[in-house]
Structure 1
Amino acid sequence: MKEIRLLNADEIDARVATVSQKGCSLLLYKDARCDMRLLDETFGSMNWTRSHEVIDGNLYCNVSVWDEEKKMWITKQDVGVESYTEKEKGQASDAFKRACFNFGIGRELYTAPFIWVNLTNDDLNAQGKIKTTFKVQSIGYNEKREINRLVIVDNKRNVRYEMGKVIKPKEGPNNIDNDMLAMALQEINSAQSLQTLTQIYNNYESLHGNDKFMSSLSAKKKLL
C-alpha cells in the first residue's frame, strides 16, 4: 500500500488547549478536509470510500482504501465523540478523522512537544479571554516521521513558539503597567455617570491603545 506523506505546515491547526495567568498551551490538529485531500492525493478520489454505522449506541466510521498490490479493500474503523456544537455531524467528522489516523494520516502529530505560549495583555479581550489566534508557520520531521522542528506564529505574524527555544512575546502598545490598568478598570466599574467616564478616559491617556481598557469603557457607557 502507498505510504501517506507527512502533513505540511498549512495543513495543521494550532488550537488553545489550556489557559493560565501566565500563558496557554496549544495542541496540533488536522481537519476532515485535510484527510479527504490526502486520501484523494495518495489513492485517487475513486479508490477510497467512507461509511458510518452505529454500534452499541456509538457512531463509528469505516474508511476503506483500495490496495492495488493486494487487489483488495483495506478498511480501518474508529468511533467518534460528540461535538459541542453539532452533535451528529461533529461525531461523524470525529470518527472519520480517527479512522484516518489509523491509516497514518497525521499520526506524526502525536509526536508533538508540549507547546507553551507566554501571553501578554495584547492577547486578551475585555473579558480576559484569548483573542489571539495561532498557526503553524513551519514544521520538520526526522527519519522516524517524528516532529523535530516547529515554529508557531500569531495572527500578527509574530513568532510565539519555536521548538527548543523560549520565546518572550514582543511588547506592543497595549502592554502597559498592570497596576495602572487594574486601577483604571476599577474606576470604570465604579463610575456612576457619563461625565465620570469621560474624566477617566482623559486621565488615562496612556491606556487609549489598550483593548481591555477601551472595551470596559464602552460596556460601562452602555449601562449608563
Structure 2
Amino acid sequence: MEKIRLLKAEEVECRVQQVTSKNGAVLLLYKDARVDMRILDETFGAMNWQRHHGRDNANCIISVWDEDKKQWIEKEDTGTESQTEAAKGLASDSFKRAGFNWGIGRELYDAPFIFVPLAESEVTKNSKGKNTTYTKFKVAEMEYSEEKRQFVKLKIVDNKEVVRFELGKKVAAPKAPAESVSSNTEVKPIKLEYVKFTGTQCLIQSNNGKWYRVEDLPLKQLETIINDERFAAGYSAIRATINAKAVGAK
C-alpha cells in the first residue's frame, strides 16, 4: 500500500486560538478537508477509497482498497461540531480525524507552540469584550523531519507577507507607521545660521551680519552661495532667483 506524503506549506492553514493580554496571538496549524480528499486521490486513486458517516455524521470511516489483500481496509474516528453549520462541520471534522488515522497531516500533532507578538493597532475587542485580531496569517515555509518527528523549519507570514514567526528565531511585532503631520499642526521654526524665512520670503545673511532678500543679491553672489552647504536650506529660493535673473539678463 502506498505511503501518505507529508503536507506542503500551502496545504496548512493558521487559526488564531487566542489573543493574550500581552498583545500576542497563539496560533494553531490545521488542514482543510479538501486536503485529505486530494491526498487520498493522489495516493490511492479516486476510485480506490471511500468514506462512510455514522451517528449523524459524528463518526467517519475512510476505507482504502488493498490490492495485495484484495479487501477494503477501514480506519475510523469521531469529530466535534463547529460553531457554524454544525452538521456540515461535524462531518468535515470526523472526516479529517479519520484522515489523521491514515497519516494525513499527522505531523501537525508535533507542531511547536506558536506565539506571534502583535502591534497595539492589531488588537481589538470582540462582541464578548475579549481580545481578538483581524490580522490573517499563513504558512510560508515548512519542513518536517520524520526521523526526528519534529519540525525543522516553520515560517509564518501575515497578509502583508511580513514574517511574524520563524522557528528558532525571535521575531518582534511590527512597528506602527510614523504619524504624518497634518496641515493644522503647528511646526516650530528651525533656527538657521545663514538662511531664514519670513513667510514665503527667503533672507540670506551676508558676511557683514546683515540680512538681505535673496532677490536683492547680485547674480554672481547667488551663483557662489548656491554651492555653499551653509545656504542649503535656501537652495530652492536661490535657484529660482538665479533662473529669473538669468532670463532677465537676456
The answer to whether residue 194 in structure 2 is matched with residue 168 in structure 1 is no
Structure 2 residue aligned with 1:158: 162
Q: Distance in 2 between matches of 1:167 and 1:161?
A: 6
Q: Evaluate the alpha carbon distance shift between residue 174 and residue 98 of structure 1 in structure 2; reply closer, same or farther with a 3 A threshold.
A: farther
Match of 2:138 among 130, 135, 139: 135
User: Unpaired segments of 5 or more residues in structure 1?
Assistant: 176-201, 204-224
Q: Evaluate the alpha carbon distance shift between residue 141 and residue 153 of structure 1 in structure 2; reply closer, same or farther with a 3 A threshold.
A: same
Structure 1 residue aligned with 2:45: 44
Structure 1 residue aligned with 2:77: 78
Q: Evaluate the alpha carbon distance shift between residue 105 and residue 174 of structure 1 in structure 2; reply closer, same or farther with a 3 A threshold.
A: farther
Name the Cα RMSD after superposition: 2.1
Please list, as runs of the form range in 1=range in 2, the aligned pairs for 1:23-102 lying within 5 A after superposition. Answer: 23-54=24-55, 59-102=58-101
TM-superposed CA distance for 1:166, in Å, is: 1.0
Q: Evaluate the alpha carbon distance shift between residue 85 and residue 137 of structure 1 in structure 2; reply closer, same or farther with a 3 A threshold.
A: same
Is the contact made by 1:19 and 1:25 (CA closer than 8 Å) also made in structure 2? yes
Structure 1 residue aligned with 2:120: 121
Which of structures 1 and 2 has the larger relative contact order (alpha carbons within 8 angstroms, sep 6+)?
A: 1
Is the contact made by 1:122 and 1:174 (CA closer than 8 Å) also made in structure 2? no
Once the two structures are superposed, residues 128-178 of structure 1 have per-residue CA deviations (whole angstroms, 9 ceiling, x without a partner) of: 530100000000111425321100000010000000111002213179xxx
Structure 2 residue aligned with 1:5: 5
Instruction: Count the aligned residue pairs.
Output: 176
TM-superposed CA distance for 1:58, in Å, is: 7.2
Is the contact made by 1:121 and 1:174 (CA closer than 8 Å) also made in structure 2? no
TM-superposed CA distance for 1:125, in Å, is: 4.5
The alignment's TM-score, normalised by the length of structure 2, stands at 0.66
Paired residue type of 1:155:
N
Higher strand share: 2
Q: Distance in 1 between matches of 2:112 and 2:168?
A: 9
Q: Evaluate the alpha carbon distance shift between residue 13 and residue 114 of structure 1 in structure 2; reply closer, same or farther with a 3 A threshold.
A: same
Please list, as runs of the form range in 1=range in 2, the aligned pairs for 1:177-188 lying within 5 A after superposition. Answer: none
The alignment's TM-score, normalised by the length of structure 1, stands at 0.73
Which structure has the bigger radius of gyration?
Answer: 2
Is the contact made by 1:154 and 1:160 (CA closer than 8 Å) also made in structure 2? yes
